[in-house]
């Protein structure tokens, strides 16, 4: 039974899932809610969409409801879930109908499922309803089935994260009968629905989708429970297929059979390839085919194929395993150290069903000219055996015959370590014969007189063979380990090299260079955002353009997001192999690689190229996203500046223009004005014209500062002279108390410094009471001069101080506030910084009484003149 929600834990979510409208999701949710309420559970209706259906209204009954939040949507009244009221009320269970609903404009969240997410985060348990057609991943499928594009969707993760899903199901015919009876839609919409969305085949398809989604959710819950309780399984509740793929042609037959089995059982399937040291890197693996057919692919390393396969099957809850069984000569061929995997699985599979796929041997390949064998290792081994034999003959009296066996064994181990198993076995046979012929009595014969010498020879051959096999295996493992280390180093090198370029052009050239280092030749074709075509962006080394076939393969790879060209199923005759740089939703481009002296690239090169393409995709996507973010930031700043400028223009030009127009009309239409009135009107026109001129001058100064056109001419300047000149220019600042040591000189531009002081003093006068004292104090502070302009005005709120020197910022807005554009202090900051100084503000002033005016102190620092 649900308990009182705890704000510190995440609330539970139960979804009543249906395939179509009218199956009774809301009715069932309300019936369950009424039953729990009768048992004493605090159940509250948050928002219920009855759609006027009598059955739903009757089921609602006396269930307590949360008052809906009234809002407007396109001119009409709308009712939405009141999230704040639900959080304040905190019921044990909150009922929220239609989870995929889009909220009206002005709501806290755009979607109702986001409201539910906030409620669950606060610890509330929520019951809700949902139709399967609202899942985002099914949008295209639903459109193909029904012909209707569902506009209200939600992410699939909402359903996946639900704690409980209850399927509300009705057979199609019963649902159509309910529709005919008017229990779902209005009578005028019934026939159209019967002929469209509510066709029997359409409802059957939607019903199957809903059943599968519910089954998938239940299966995931079962898997989580088995994992949490350490149940090994598998339990035959849901089928999962594992295809074991080897590095030969049989893998393709296994992949196709596994695909057919997965389709028949409607089950997910996994394609597994186990790498081992003896595997030749040039042999093909059918993992790309499995990926194209929809499998999840995985590669692991290990010697014991059976143990690795069973471990993966147990960890992934596999129920059925598909493995290949070669036929004919391939099955009869004896391979040392290799057991038959199909037979071993049949003996040890346990709870897994094993499907053995008989595969015919690969057709004989056309004869190719054999490569010239390398006899140097064989010659070296023969020379080493001969040298040991001659050394033993020369030191026959010093070296006992038993010790010679150890020396021959050392040669065998060295041959195995350096050149592999075949040479080791050959060296063991040769060493056995040489030891017997030259050192075991009777010498110069293969005959053995003493029985214990025979045992020694047999032990020597066995130890030499086993040691050779083990040494050869260690050698192969060392090579495989080195190859993996090289791959990791290559991935790290890719990441480092691709992180260096700061521009897209440089990055693409680096991608081409790295791909050419792997394959020999490489091209990079990129897709410009908004354009479906590809263009050749880089090639390494430089060469002619791609031919028509290669261009067609590149376009197909970019359009479909698949590999094309040599070694693939699409346009395999093309000499190039194209790999798409694909993100989740788009293809950024295509990387083409080609080997200059081989028809196809070896598997290690293809793996390295695939790794490079993955890293390149991330790097290119990161660069483009960074460029988009920078452009968006610039546009946002431009828009903010434009808005501020328009607001300032509307206020600071409208007011003086209105005054000028009023004064001019009065002068023009009124003839009987005395000289005093006429003088006042002319004064108004003059003052407001000066105000507009100052405003435009400020905008020009700001533009020049931001464009870098203002370049200060720094020279020694007496600070007292600049302060007195500035105070004389600002109306109302004549009485400014200037305290500046005689001879204090700064390194500044005289014109710019005077303008800075004028702007700061003008700001102090505007925001201070008439006659209020203003102080300008200066002193030396190390290598700097510190200038403070302090007023006893209204001050600035602490939250607004960081923005005081921004363009168009005004601490006090409105028609009753002091006139101004909000540019004066911004211009002052730009000019001070251009001269190598700083500017800051402090409010309230600490030296003023707390019950009086706040006051403002603006501090400038400039370098002292030498």
Pairing of strands 521-527, 587-594: antiparallel
- Give the whole-angstrom CA distance, residue 285 versus residue 58: 63
**Residue 332: its pLDDT value, please?**
41
Nearest-5° angle of CA 271, CA 273, CA 274?
145
- Give the whole-angstrom CA distance, residue 375 versus residue 381: 10
Which class would CATH give 13-228? alpha beta
CATH 3.30.565.10 region(s) of the chain? 711-863
Q: Output DSSP code: residue 798.
A: G
- Which run of H or of E encompasses 321? strand 320-326
Q: What is the pLDDT of residues 60-73, one digit of tens each?
A: 878 899 988 887 76
**Residue 858: its pLDDT value, please?**
92
Residue 327 confidence class, pLDDT cut points 50, 70, 90: low
- Going along 742-836, which residue ranges are E strands? 745-748, 775-781, 784-791
- For 671, phi then psi, to 5°, come to -85, -30
CATH 3.30.450.40 region(s) of the chain? 504-604
Residue 341 confidence class, pLDDT cut points 50, 70, 90: confident
pLDDT top residue among 544 and 531? 544
pLDDT top residue among 300 and 249? 300
Residue 334 confidence class, pLDDT cut points 50, 70, 90: very low
Q: Mean pLDDT of all residues in the chain?
A: 79
Residue 623 confidence class, pLDDT cut points 50, 70, 90: confident
**Residue 136: its pLDDT value, please?**
85
Q: What is the pLDDT of residues 17-31, one digit of tens each?
A: 988 888 888 888 998
Tokens found for residue 666: 């009065």
- Give the whole-angstrom CA distance, residue 701 versus residue 682: 28
- Which run of H or of E encompasses 206? helix 200-228
- For 361, phi then psi, to 5°, come to -65, 150
CATH 3.40.50.300 region(s) of the chain? 13-228
- Give the whole-angstrom CA distance, residue 625 versus residue 647: 32
- Give the whole-angstrom CA distance, residue 612 versus residue 497: 11
- Listed range (123-137, 574-588, 602-616) with the worst mean pLDDT: 602-616
Angle between helices 824-834 and 675-706 (to 10 degrees): 40
Q: Which of 56-65, 111-120, 843-852 has the highest mean pLDDT?
A: 111-120
Three-class DSSP category at 26: helix
Decide: 329 and 359 in contact? Cβ < 8 Å. no
- For 96, phi then psi, to 5°, come to -130, 110
**Residue 656 scores a pLDDT above 80:** no
Cβ neighbours of residue 198 under 8 Å, at least 6 residues apart? 20, 175, 176, 179
- Which run of H or of E encompasses 488? helix 451-499
Q: DSSP letters along 248-262, please?
A: STHHHHHHHHHHHHH
Q: What would be the CATH architecture of the domain defined by 711-863?
A: 2-Layer Sandwich (3.30)
Tokens found for residue 812: 């006090």
Angle between helices 750-766 and 719-729 (to 10 degrees): 50
Across-strand partners of 784?
781, 863
CATH 3.40.50.620 region(s) of the chain? 241-329+339-359
Across-strand partners of 358?
325
- Give the whole-angstrom CA distance, residue 341 versus residue 594: 36
- Give the whole-angstrom CA distance, residue 644 versus residue 798: 22
Q: What is the pLDDT of residues 425-467, one digit of tens each?
A: 788 788 777 877 888 777 777 776 677 666 766 776 677 677 7
Residue that has been written with the tokens 């819950």 in this structure: 221
- Going along 467-533, which residue ranges are E strands? 521-527
Handedness of CA 801, 805, 806, 811 (dihedral sign): positive
**Residue 241 scores a pLDDT above 70:** yes
Nearest-5° angle of CA 682, CA 771, CA 649?
50
**Residue 3: its pLDDT value, please?**
47
Cβ neighbours of residue 782 under 8 Å, at least 6 residues apart? none
Which class would CATH give 241-329+339-359? alpha beta
Q: What would be the CATH architecture of the domain defined by 504-604?
A: 2-Layer Sandwich (3.30)
Residue 709 confidence class, pLDDT cut points 50, 70, 90: low
- Give the whole-angstrom CA distance, residue 9 versus residue 587: 41
Q: What is the pLDDT of residues 748-785, one digit of tens each?
A: 888 888 888 988 988 888 888 777 888 899 999 888 99
């Amino acid at each position: 039974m649900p308990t009182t929600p705890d704000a510190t834990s995440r609330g539970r979510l139960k979804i009543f899932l249906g395939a179509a409208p009218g199956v009774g999701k809301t009715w069932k949710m309300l019936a369950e809610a009424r039953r729990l309420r009768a048992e004493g559970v605090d159940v509250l209706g948050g928002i219920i969409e009855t759609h006027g259906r009598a059955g739903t209204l009757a089921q609602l009954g006396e269930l307590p409801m949360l008052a809906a939040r009234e809002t407007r949507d396109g001119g009409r009244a709308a009712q939405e879930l009141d999230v704040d009221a639900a959080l304040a009320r905190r019921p044990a269970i909150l009922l929220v109908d239609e989870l995929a609903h889009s909220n009206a404009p002005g709501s806290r969240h755009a979607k109702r499922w986001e409201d539910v997410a906030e409620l669950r985060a606060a610890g509330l348990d929520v019951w809700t309803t949902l139709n399967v057609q609202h899942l985002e991943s099914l949008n295209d499928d639903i459109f193909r089935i029904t012909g209707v594009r569902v506009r209200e969707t939600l992410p699939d993760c909402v359903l996946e994260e639900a704690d409980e899903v209850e399927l509300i199901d009705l057979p199609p015919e019963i649902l159509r009968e309910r529709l005919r009876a008017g229990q779902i839609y209005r009578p005028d919409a019934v026939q159209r629905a019967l002929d469209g969305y509510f066709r029997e085949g359409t409802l059957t398809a939607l019903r199957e989708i809903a059943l599968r989604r519910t089954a998938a959710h239940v299966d995931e819950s079962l898997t989580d429970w088995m994992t949490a309780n350490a149940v090994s399984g598998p339990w035959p509740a849901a089928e999962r297929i594992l295809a074991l793929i080897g590095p030969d042609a049989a893998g393709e037959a296994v992949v196709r059979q596994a695909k057919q089995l997965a389709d028949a059982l409607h089950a997910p399937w996994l394609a597994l390839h186990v790498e081992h040291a003896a595997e030749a890197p040039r042999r093909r693996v059918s993992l790309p085919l499995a990926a194209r057919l929809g499998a999840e692919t995985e590669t692991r390393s290990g010697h014991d194929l059976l143990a690795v396969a069973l471990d993966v099957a147990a960890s992934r809850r596999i129920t059925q395993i598909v493995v290949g069984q070669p036929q004919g000569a391939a099955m009869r061929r004896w391979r040392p150290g290799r057991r038959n995997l199909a037979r071993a699985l049949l003996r040890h599979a346990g709870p897994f069903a094993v499907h053995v796929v008989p595969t015919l041997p690969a057709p004989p390949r056309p004869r190719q000219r054999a490569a010239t064998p390398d006899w140097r290792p064989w010659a070296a081994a023969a020379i080493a055996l001969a040298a040991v034999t001659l050394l033993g003959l020369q030191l026959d009296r010093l070296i006992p015959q038993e010790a010679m066996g150890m020396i021959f064994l050392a040669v065998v181990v060295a041959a195995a370590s350096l050149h592999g198993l075949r040479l080791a076995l050959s060296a063991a046979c040769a060493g056995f014969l040489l030891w017997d012929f030259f050192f075991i009595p009777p010498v110069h014969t293969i005959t053995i007189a003493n029985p214990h010498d025979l045992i020694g020879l047999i032990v020597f051959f066995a130890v030499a063979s086993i040691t050779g096999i083990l040494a050869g295996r260690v050698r192969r493992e060392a090579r495989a380990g080195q190859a993996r280390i090289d791959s990791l180093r290559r991935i790290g090198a890719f990441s480092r090299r691709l992180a260096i370029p700061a521009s897209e052009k440089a990055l693409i050239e680096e991608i081409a260079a790295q791909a050419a280092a792997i394959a020999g030749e490489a091209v990079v074709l990129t897709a410009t955002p908004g354009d479906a075509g590809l263009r050749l962006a880089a090639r390494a080394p430089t060469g002619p353009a791609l031919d028509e076939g290669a261009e067609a393969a590149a376009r197909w790879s970019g359009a479909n997001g698949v590999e094309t060209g040599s070694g693939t199923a699409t346009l395999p005759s093309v000499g190039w192999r194209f790999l798409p740089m694909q993100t989740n939703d788009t293809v950024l481009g295509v990387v083409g690689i080609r080997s200059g002296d081989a028809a196809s690239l070896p598997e290690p090169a293809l793996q390295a190229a695939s790794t490079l393409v993955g890293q390149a995709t991330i790097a290119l996507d990161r660069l483009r996203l960074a460029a988009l973010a920078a452009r968006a930031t610039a546009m946002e700043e431009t828009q903010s500046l434009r808005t501020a400028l328009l607001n300032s223009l509307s206020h600071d030009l409208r007011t003086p223009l209105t005054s000028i127009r009023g004064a001019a009309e009065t002068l023009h239409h009124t003839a009987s004005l005395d000289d005093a009135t006429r003088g006042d009107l002319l004064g108004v026109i003059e003052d407001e014209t000066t105000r507009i001129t100052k405003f435009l001058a400020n905008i020009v100064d700001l533009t020049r500062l931001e464009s870098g056109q203002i370049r200060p001419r720094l020279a020694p300047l007496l600070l007292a002279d600049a302060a007195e000149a500035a105070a004389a220019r600002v109306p109302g600042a004549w009485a400014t108390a200037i305290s500046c040591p005689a001879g204090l000189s700064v390194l500044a531009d005289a014109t710019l410094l005077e303008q800075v002081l004028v702007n700061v003093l003008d700001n102090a006068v505007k925001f201070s009471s008439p006659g209020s004292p203003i102080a300008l104090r200066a002193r030396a502070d190390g290598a700097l001069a510190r200038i403070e302009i302090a007023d006893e005005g209204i001050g600035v709120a602490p939250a607004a101080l960081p923005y005081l020197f921004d363009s168009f910022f005004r601490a006090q807005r409105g028609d009753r506030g002091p006139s101004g554009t909000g540019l004066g202090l911004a211009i002052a900051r730009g000019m001070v910084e251009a001269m190598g100084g700083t500017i800051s503000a402090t409010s309230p002033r600490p030296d003023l009484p707390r019950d009086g005016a706040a006051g403002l102190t603006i501090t400038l620092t400039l370098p002292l003149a030498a």
